[in-house]
Amino acid sequence: MSEIEKPGIPLSRGAQRILERAVQIQQERQHETLCVHHWLLALLERHGPMSESMASGLEASSLQAYIEEELKKGETGEPLDAEELRQRAARWAASRGAKQPAERDLAAIILQEAGYPLTGKAFVEAADLSNAPATSASSDDPSLRQGGPAKSAARARRPTPTLEQFGKDLTRAARENRLSPMVGREEELDLVIETLCRRTKRNPALVGPAGVGKTTIVEGLAHRIVAGQVPEMLRDARILAIQPSTLVAGASVHGELEKRMQALLTEASQDGILLFIDEVHSIIGVGGAAGTGDIASLLKPALARGDLACIAATTDDEYRRFIEPDPALERRFQPIRVYELSPEQTLDILRALREEFQRLRGVSVGEETLRWLVDFAQRYMRNRYFPDKAVDLLEQCVAHALAQSRKEVLITDVETVAQRMVGMPLVLSDRLPILRERLLESALLSEEEITTLVNRLKVTVSGLDLRPNRPNAVALLVSEAAEHSESLSEIIAEALFQSASRVVTIDFSRFTQAHDLTMLLGAPPGYVGFSETVPLHQVAQTPWCVLRCENVDACHPQVLEVLHQALASGLITDARGKRIYLSDTVVLLTADIEAESRRKTGYRNVKEPASADYEQAAEAKLGEDFAAQIDVICVGASNSEAAMRRWLRENLLSDLSRRYRARGMEVQWDDSLIDWFLSRQSDNASRMEWERLVDEHLSGALIPFLPPVDAKESPSYVVKYRDGSVQVETLPTTERS
């Protein structure tokens, strides 16, 4: 005898159709027992709008799709046979004075069995049910003796279609071994568990820099729940991670976001559901105006009532900028500070990941390689935090080994990947001889100044200085050296970092007022230009660079003090609260400073002042504290004619030769031309004056000799000064280089 044919309490015609459809669904899916999901699907198919009006937070279409998926997986819910439903529906109908159960009576029982709280009139009827008259059902019915239709509810028994649609079940992922193990965060995890066990304000907020492992702590909680290593009130709980941006996607119709949030909060408010919102600051202003129609304003009432338990995560800066200004939201959370792990703790994490890579990818990584990665990340990736930067390096090295069809990560792989990720030579000390050679060739600094600068870099690039957070070198360029600061910065960038483009230039003469700090650090939030970039942001993108700060003596004292603190600490904080590290830069400062003992009596007869004279002048102009941050003071080219001759040939005229070579013409320079230049130009001429002299006398003489574009051979010429003029002669074949 089928469930429909069994004798029992008569139902209305509409209620009978719900029963028939539920039995049909059970038979179609070949399930042995009639259960809650069968009844719920039958109800939603026939009376979706009525169900939404009776239950709080129910969204019929999404719930129907969810039940369909659950039935496909064999999840049928709690058993609920037809006769039991008839008896309970009859009691419900009697409570409102009806003679037989109708669709609404069946719906009330089914929705309560599914775990949905009733609203409106249905809730009033449920409250009065205990006073309803007895029906023809047996008084021995357990549900009647309990005075209501509801059974003792299991944890998180109600379906969660909205959470499933817009979130990710972390406990399910942990059960399926799809989450990495948590290492080194036991103390923070214990604080999270303690907070979740509170009666009120059970909403921990993990606050810390990006990459320190805030999300990993929540994943560690999921592992503990699956293993049963949590207090009784958290046993069998589910953690569902929600991204606020996914809630807004597609909610263009007015009221759609509110409807989604109501359904989500209703599902999340049941016992055994823990909501996790990563980047919680993003709920501010998403979906509507901040404080009125955004997700935060929809979430605050539920947090205030304590209807749900919510774990949040965000960075220190964003917590301070977005959460703290809203006291009503900020006081709902219990902040838990998450600090950066130590290198030793990070090494333990890498060891755990190594075993995972060995199991999943078949790639082995040696202990020495792991230690090298941690040491490299600590020294050269200061803009990022442990353990994220070390984990990122390890994963890239494993991927590189797989791409090379190898089953082991070699030290050569690690060095290649690390150099590619940070964009710099791994051993900068190997580049110092090249730097010394290039500076000597340029003749822009004296040999003593070059030696002092290179010796300073020998210590700092090896990480052996007592204050490793400071820039690798801070050089003050004065006099002739300041005039050639552009060339010097390009030479240093090319020699050290293998790219002349790694130069960031900031002209401090523009910052003459205190409010001009916005041009250096960027505009603060709420001001015009907040989203715009400033030159300092280039340092954050390419930490290994030459930072050229021009005319530092001409800026406002407050701006100079900001620069002083940046040189002393090795970092500067922009208007967005982001730290920009100068630890890997070479800083070149230029200033209009002249020592008293300096006498300009001609290039060959300059009396060079002692370095102490310039130190005293720098202290007087910039202040003692600022001058103390300067490692070397560079005055400029030495007073030897040989050095100037070498600079003209190997720097200025060499650049000109390359330009003509690109146009299909080889040019060489005779010594007579160099002699004439030295006698013609003033001894204290700037680079621009030398360039103007070259353009005036050489370009006009060489342009008539340029070959046609389609020329098959490249002619070669030598330029001489003879008989009072610049002359261009064809270079004999035997003398061509």
Q: Which amino acid is at 495?
A: A
Per-residue model confidence as pLDDT tens digits over 632-673: 999 876 555 666 777 677 777 887 888 888 888 888 888 888
Q: Would you place residue 507 in the very low, low, confident or very high pLDDT band (cuts 50, 70, 90)?
A: very high
Look at residue 203 and tell me whether its pLDDT is greater than 70: yes
**Integer Cα distance of 170 and 237 in angstroms:** 11
Higher pLDDT, 174 or 162: 174
Q: Please classify residue 514 by burial: count the beta carbons closer than 10 Å to its beta carbon, then call 0-12 exposed, 13-18 middle and 19+ buried.
A: exposed
What local confidence, expressed as pLDDT, does residue 135 receive? 37
Q: Tell me, what's the pLDDT at 603?
A: 36
- pLDDT tens, residue by residue, 410-419: 888 888 888 8
For CATH 3.40.50.300, the residue range(s) in the chain are 161-337, 428-634
On the question of pLDDT at 625 being above 60, the answer is: yes
pLDDT at 408 over 70: yes
Confidence of residue 142 (pLDDT cuts 50, 70, 90): very low
Mean pLDDT for 94-102 is 83
pLDDT tier at 694, thresholds 50, 70, 90? confident
Which DSSP letter does residue 695 get? I
Rounded average pLDDT over 3-22: 76
pLDDT given for residue 611 in this prediction? 60
Question: Looking at residue 526, what is its pLDDT?
Answer: 66
When mean pLDDT is compared across 366-370, 400-404, 694-698, 730-734, the lowest value belongs to 730-734
Confidence of residue 624 (pLDDT cuts 50, 70, 90): very high
Q: Which residue has the higher pLDDT, 459 or 463?
A: 459
Q: Which CATH class is domain 13-145?
A: mainly alpha
| pLDDT interval class at 120 (50, 70, 90) | low
Q: What is the mean pLDDT of residues 568-581?
A: 88
Give the pLDDT score at 293.
Answer: 65
Distance CA 207, CA 340 (A): 11
* Residue % of the chain over a pLDDT of 70: 85
The C-alpha atoms of residue 361 and residue 335 are separated, in whole angstroms, by 38
The rounded mean pLDDT for the chain is: 82
pLDDT score at 607: 43
For the chain, percent of residues with pLDDT exceeding 90? 32
The answer for residues whose C-beta is within 8 angstroms of residue 122's C-beta and 6 or more apart is 54, 55, 104, 108
Instruction: Tell me how far CA of residue 256 lies from CA of 166, 241, 252, 261, 287, in angstroms.
Output: 14, 21, 7, 9, 10
Report, as an integer, the average pLDDT of 33-47.
91
Q: Which CATH number fits domain 161-337: 3.30.379.10, 3.40.1210.10, 3.40.50.300, 1.10.3720.10?
A: 3.40.50.300
Overall average pLDDT of the 91-114 stretch: 86
Whole-number pLDDT of residue 608: 47
CA–CA dist 496, 484 (Å, integer): 18
Confidence band, pLDDT 50/70/90 cuts, at residue 172: very high
- The contacts of residue 6 (CB under 8 Å, 6+ apart) are 82, 83
Per CATH, domain 641-735 is 1.10.8.60: yes
Mean pLDDT confidence for 513-522: 90
Mean pLDDT of 353-366: 91
Domain 428-634 in CATH 3.40.50.10470: no
- Whole-number Å distance between alpha carbons of 78 and 625: 76
Architecture of domain 343-422: Orthogonal Bundle (1.10)
Element (H, E) at 493: helix 485-497
pLDDT for residue 687: 62
Query: For residue range 65-78, what is the model confidence (pLDDT) as tens digits?
Result: 888 888 988 888 88
Cross-strand pairs, 607: 599
Angle between helices 343-360 and 388-403 (to 10 degrees): 30
Q: Which token pair is 261?
A: 């949030």
- Boundaries of CATH 1.10.1780 in the chain? 13-145
pLDDT at site 548: 96
CB 289 within 8 A of CB 332: no
How far apart are the C-alpha atoms of 296 and 231, rounded to whole Å? Answer: 30
Does residue 281 carry a pLDDT above 80? Answer: yes
- Give the C-alpha separation, 399 to 413, whole Å: 10
Q: Boundaries of CATH 1.10.8.60 in the chain? A: 343-422, 641-735
The H-assigned helical ranges of 228-366 are: 244-248, 256-268, 295-305, 316-318, 327-330, 343-360
pLDDT of residue 347: 94
Exposed (0-12), middle (13-18) or buried (19+): which is 601, by Cβ within 10 Å? exposed
Q: Is 75 helix (H, G, I), strand (E, B) or coil?
A: coil
